[in-house]
């Protein structure tokens, strides 16, 4: 096992032991858990960089490389789509440390023979890597030990997600699979650490639903910047996956032109929900509500309602309260998920409905709605029009955000923050 910094610049010899160039870079093919080295870039005496396939290499270590052949095919290097050059594309660049959920810089790269192939095993992001590259390993390590620092820090390649920066040539080579395993809030945390320019790239690589979840976790201004940077099609797809209230808040902050463009590209159903919400003043209950809610009728049985929920597969946020409406759409009561589950399957909804539900009018002040949620300990509050027909619901998290300001979760005490790595 050795480091890229110990290989670069070492002599490359042919089968007879004659030096004909210096090692410049290693090519690896991404995709496997430990990507194999598929070739070397060698600087030959006339200053040109040539490419040698791995099959020509007899052995390689910190003393240099030796080839199987004497005949060298002077092939100019052509980078294939899934290949990266370790030194040019990865060394000194930023990566996402998926385990640590943060952005770090690659100080060195660890390669090791695995299954008879030299493979990319880990990236070195510790002080040890910096010291090695600066030629200060000896004194630096002693100093670090004396200060009780832990100089060694490696990240396994499977826990790494390269960042497509505007600078590196990694664009489109990165599948961002590792990011898919993180919680959206953690991905959002990572996205925030990137330069504004590079943020949209990660969102573009995620599937629409995850991208929507991540986007919802970001600050309003960052959301707008990212949505402006994405292609209109991708942006519209992501908006469809967001809650209508979140989507409406976001769309409202876009330019008029961009609004129309994105709404036009969205599915008509989702677009009309968003348009409807856009019509409400932000300072009212209507501006705070979402149109994602579920209504049932008094005549349905518990069994029928549960069947319906199975088909609708609603989000967790919207399932705790179900709203009972009459034939005119007027709100007559609520049922809770608990009530539904403990009821006998054949019981009618009216028998476990809570009548006279607490609600607010669409044009009520947003603060009034937030206060009602706090006072009555509600998870959600229905919003009704003048005729008492339900128009939407305000969820407790939106009420919190209203009361405490954006980013309130970030300001909670340490207790609520994700555990630190050891």
Binding site for another protein (CB under 8 A): 91-94, 102, 104-107, 125, 130, 133-134, 165-168, 192-193, 195-198, 219-222, 225, 249, 252-253, 278-282, 287, 405-407, 410, 414, 420
DSSP, residue by residue, 125-153: -SHHHHHHHTT-HHHHHHHHHHTT-----
Residue 137 C-beta: closest distance to another protein, Å: 13
Residue 51 C-beta: closest distance to another protein, Å: 20
Paired strand residues for 83: 29
List CB contacts of 309: < 8 A, sequence separation 6 or more: 294, 319
Paired strand residues for 119: 36, 112
Q: Which is nearer to another protein, 99 or 225 (CB)?
A: 225
Q: Which is nearer to another protein, 185 or 278 (CB)?
A: 278
Residue 179 C-beta: closest distance to another protein, Å: 19
Residue 94 C-beta: closest distance to another protein, Å: 7
Paired strand residues for 64: 61
Residue 365 C-beta: closest distance to another protein, Å: 14
Dihedral Cα 301, 305, 311, 313, nearest 10 deg: -160
Q: Which is nearer to another protein, 343 or 366 (CB)?
A: 366
At 337 the three-state DSSP class reads helix
Structure tokens belonging to residue 392 = 């939407």
- Residue count (the chain): 422
Residue 391 C-beta: closest distance to another protein, Å: 15
Q: Which is nearer to another protein, 338 or 410 (CB)?
A: 410
Q: Which is nearer to another protein, 40 or 91 (CB)?
A: 91
Paired strand residues for 13: 19, 66
**Locus of tokens 């007027």:** 330
Residue 127 C-beta: closest distance to another protein, Å: 9
DSSP, residue by residue, 197-265: HHHHHHHHHS-HHHHHHHHHHS-HHHHHHHHHHS-HHHHHHHHHHS-HHHHHHHHHTS-HHHHHHHHHH
Residue 264 C-beta: closest distance to another protein, Å: 19
Q: Which is nearer to another protein, 168 or 300 (CB)?
A: 168
Q: Which is nearer to another protein, 68 or 171 (CB)?
A: 171
Taking the CA atoms of 43, 44, 50 and 53 in sequence, report the sign of the dihedral they define.
negative
DSSP, residue by residue, 382-405: EEE-TT-BEEEEEEHHHHHHHHH-
Nearest alpha-carbon partner for 104 in 115, 114, 95: 95
Q: Which is nearer to another protein, 70 or 231 (CB)?
A: 231
Nearest alpha-carbon partner for 161 in 180, 183, 176: 176
Q: Which is nearer to another protein, 260 or 326 (CB)?
A: 260
Q: Taking CA 317 as the corner, what is the angle to CA 316 and CA 319, rounded to the nearest 5 degrees?
A: 65
Residue 220 C-beta: closest distance to another protein, Å: 3
């Amino acid at each position: 096992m050795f480091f890229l910094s110990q290989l670069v610049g070492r002599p490359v010899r042919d089968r007879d032991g004659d030096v004909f160039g210096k090692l410049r870079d290693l090519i690896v093919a991404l995709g496997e858990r430990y990507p194999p080295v598929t070739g070397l870039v060698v600087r030959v005496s006339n200053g040109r960089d040539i490419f040698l396939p791995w099959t020509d290499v007899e052995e390689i270590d910190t003393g240099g490389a030796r080839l199987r052949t004497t005949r060298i095919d002077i092939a100019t290097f052509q980078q294939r789509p899934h290949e990266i050059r370790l030194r040019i594309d990865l060394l000194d660049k930023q990566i996402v440390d998926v385990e640590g959920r943060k952005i770090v810089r690659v100080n060195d790269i660890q390669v090791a023979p695995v299954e008879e192939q030299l493979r990319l095993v880990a990236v070195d992001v510790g002080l040890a890597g910096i010291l090695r590259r600066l030629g200060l390993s000896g004194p630096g390590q002693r100093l670090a030990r004396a200060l009780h620092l832990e100089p060694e820090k490696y990240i396994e390649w499977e826990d790494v997600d390269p960042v497509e920066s505007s600078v590196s040539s990694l664009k489109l080579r990165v599948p961002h699979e590792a990011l898919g395993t993180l919680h959206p809030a953690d991905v959002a945390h990572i996205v925030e650490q990137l330069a504004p320019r590079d943020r949209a790239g990660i969102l573009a690589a995620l599937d629409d639903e995850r991208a929507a979840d991540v986007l919802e976790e970001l600050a309003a201004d960052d959301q707008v910047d990212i949505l402006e940077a994405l292609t209109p099609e991708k942006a519209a797809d992501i908006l469809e996956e967001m809650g209508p209230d979140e989507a409406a808040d976001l769309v409202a902050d876009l330019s008029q032109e961009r609004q129309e463009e994105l709404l036009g590209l969205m599915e008509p159903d989702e677009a009309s929900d968003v348009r409807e919400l856009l019509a409400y003043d932000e300072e009212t209950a209507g501006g705070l509500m979402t149109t994602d809610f579920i209504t049932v009728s008094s005549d349905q049985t518990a069994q029928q309602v549960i069947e319906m929920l199975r088909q609708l597969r609603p989000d967790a946020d919207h399932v705790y309260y179900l709203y009972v409406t009459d034939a005119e759409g007027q709100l007559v009561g609520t049922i809770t998920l608990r009530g539904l589950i403990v009821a006998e399957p054949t019981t009618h909804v009216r028998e476990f409905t809570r009548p006279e539900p607490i609600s607010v009018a669409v044009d009520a002040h947003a603060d009034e709605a937030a206060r009602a949620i706090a006072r009555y300990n509600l998870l959600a509050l229905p919003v009704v029009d003048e005729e008492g027909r339900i128009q939407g619901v305000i969820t407790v998290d939106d009420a919190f955000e209203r009361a405490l300001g954006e980013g309130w979760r970030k300001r909670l005490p340490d207790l609520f923050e994700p555990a630190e790595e050891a």
